[in-house]
DNA sequence: TCGGTACGTGAATGAAGATTCACGAGATGG
DNA sequence: CCATCTCGTGAATCTTCATTCACGTACCGA
């Protein structure tokens, strides 16, 4: 039963890969399960990709593209800093819930077994978020609204750390459990509430 | 060449396990390399532990014990809140550099391939840090020194998120690369400077 | 319609590594 | 000093995949 791959099939394959990798991690994922899930045969993966690692990296790229789209759709249409921040946080938190697996992929690459790609991947991902935060902080400074003590890069770093953890907390098992322990089930079940608390927290830190 | 395991040998085995797991991750670590590194034979691991997973979990427990010792040695002898915070941060950051591998183990368990242990492990680890932060926040409130808006658990959550990321940044490859990108090489090479910036940041957020 | 090519298929192959187990070296105790 | 038991050893076994490749179907151009 031969079936030619149309142009959407590659996408289907990548998505199957993302689902499997997000669920089991790079090493525990079995190539033939990915093919199964995508409704095609293992061999085809090797027609398009060098090996498992290369395929994994392609899946990472694909999920990053989607994350990037999410981020870019957020920031550009607001003037009020606080509202801007609020929207950013709300959107990212709901994206984390909706596209759980893309964030799991993101988290997966931070793990030890991707060590050899650490530098390369960090550079690739940073280019996404740095853009957003530069813009955000730029606005704030232009408005003379914020009081950052010291190196603004460190400030951006802390901010992104927090935001990243929030996203992981709503997409990865371990961090979700951790959040429940810290904040209680009620809060963990109410992403928007956590987002608002975070905006308040950042508001204070920014001296808003 | 038979050699009886004295009481320190188990420790040696666990430490070898931690080193290997921290370096390669759970799945990529090879059991016989661990035995090699510990100077004994593979078989012995299976005399003491059910299987690879069980051994890994034992290694996690052991590294958590050591992390716990670090945390407990910090907080107890200060009255001034800001100094207390400062010491905590400085100590945790240098611990992250010195006991890199314990933190890598900690990070390893957050990854997808440990999914089935997520809840169990989160509970175990939370019991360590919650104690410290409860104490810290308790002091602050007693002194009427802080102005926490909203649920204090969320505040503790954000605080720990930040601190955890700082520790990962000084111990795990990916996060270290990321920190360099955000903060520049100079800052990444100067843990104490980053720690101080963080204390300032938290100081503002706390309304100190 | 026919010959030839392109490409998906999935069973077969090979490697890697977790786990086992028959062995024998030390310990113990009489 | 011997008999017996304990327990570490590491080569052999057994599984689990990643990767390959001989095959056959669909497509294309003539």
- Reported confidence tier of residue B206, pLDDT bands at 50, 70, 90: confident
Note the pLDDT of residue B140: 78
Q: Do B205 and A205 touch (CB under 8 A)?
A: yes
Q: Do B157 and A183 touch (CB under 8 A)?
A: yes
pLDDT at B75 over 70: no
pLDDT at B2 over 80: no
pLDDT at A153 over 60: yes
Note the pLDDT of residue B126: 83
Residues 63-122 of A with CB under 8 A from B: 104, 107-115, 118-119, 121-122
Query: How many percent of chain B have pLDDT more than 90?
Result: 65
| Helix (H), strand (E) at residue B99 | none
Q: Is the CB of A31 under 7 A from strand D?
A: yes
Mean pLDDT over each residue of chain B, to the nearest integer: 90
CA B3/CA B5 separation, integer angstroms: 6
Q: What is the arithmetic mean of pLDDT over A189-195?
A: 97
Note the pLDDT of residue B72: 77
pLDDT at B130 over 80: no
- Reported confidence tier of residue B102, pLDDT bands at 50, 70, 90: very high
Contact A150, B62 (CB under 8 A): no
Taking the CA of residue B2 and the nearest CA in chain A, the distance in Å comes to 34
Note the pLDDT of residue B1: 57
CA B64/CA B68 separation, integer angstroms: 6
Contact A107, B111 (CB under 8 A): yes
Taking the CA of residue B136 and the nearest CA in chain A, the distance in Å comes to 15
- Reported confidence tier of residue B77, pLDDT bands at 50, 70, 90: low
Structure tokens at A135: 């813009």
- Reported confidence tier of residue B41, pLDDT bands at 50, 70, 90: very high
Q: Name residues whose C-beta falls within 8 Å of residue B97's C-beta, 6 or more positions apart in sequence.
A: B170, B171, B191
CA B208/CA B143 separation, integer angstroms: 11
Note the pLDDT of residue B103: 96
How confident is the model over A88-147, as pLDDT tens digits?
Answer: 899 999 999 999 999 999 999 999 888 889 999 999 988 778 777 877 777 777 777 787
Task: Count residue pairs from A and B with Cβ separation < 8 A.
Answer: 200
Query: What DSSP letter does each residue of B142-184 carry, written as one string?
Result: HTT-----S-HHHHHHHHHHHHHHHHHHTT-HHHHHHHHHHHH
More confident residue, A152 or B3: A152
**Helix (DSSP H) and strand (DSSP E) numbers for chain B:** 10, 0
Note the pLDDT of residue B112: 87
Phi, psi of A201 (to 5 degrees): -60, -50
pLDDT at A172 over 80: yes
More confident residue, B125 or B148: B125
pLDDT at A75 over 70: no
Q: What is the arithmetic mean of pLDDT over B125-130?
A: 79
- Reported confidence tier of residue A79, pLDDT bands at 50, 70, 90: low
Note the pLDDT of residue B186: 97
Contact A78, A84 (CB under 8 A): yes
**Which residue gives the smallest C-alpha to C1' distance to D23?**
A2
Note the pLDDT of residue A128: 76
How confident is the model over B139-196, as pLDDT tens digits?
Answer: 777 778 787 878 888 999 999 999 999 999 999 999 999 999 999 999 999 999 999 9
Distance A127 CA to C16 C1' (A): 37
């Amino acid at each position: 039963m031969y079936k030619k791959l149309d142009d959407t099939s590659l996408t289907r394959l990548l998505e199957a890969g993302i689902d499997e990798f997000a669920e089991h991690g790079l090493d525990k994922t079995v190539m033939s399960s990915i093919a199964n899930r995508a409704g095609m045969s293992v061999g085809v993966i090797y027609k398009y990709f060098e090996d498992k690692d290369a395929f994994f990296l392609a899946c990472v790229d694909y999920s990053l593209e989607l994350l990037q789209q999410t981020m870019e759709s957020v920031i550009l249409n607001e003037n009020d800093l606080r509202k801007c921040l609020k929207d950013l946080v709300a959107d990212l938190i709901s994206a984390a819930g909706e596209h759980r697996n893309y964030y799991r992929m993101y988290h997966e690459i931070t793990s030890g077994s991707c060590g050899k790609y650490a530098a390369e991947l960090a550079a690739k991902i940073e280019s996404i978020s740095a853009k957003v935060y530069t813009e955000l902080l730029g606005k704030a400074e232009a408005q003379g609204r914020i009081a950052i003590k010291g190196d603004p890069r460190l400030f951006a770093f802390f901010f992104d750390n927090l935001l990243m953890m929030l996203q992981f907390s709503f997409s990865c098992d371990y961090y979700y459990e951790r959040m429940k322990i810290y904040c209680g089930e009620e809060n963990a079940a109410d992403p928007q509430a956590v987002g608002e608390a975070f905006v308040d927290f950042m508001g204070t830190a920014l001296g808003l």
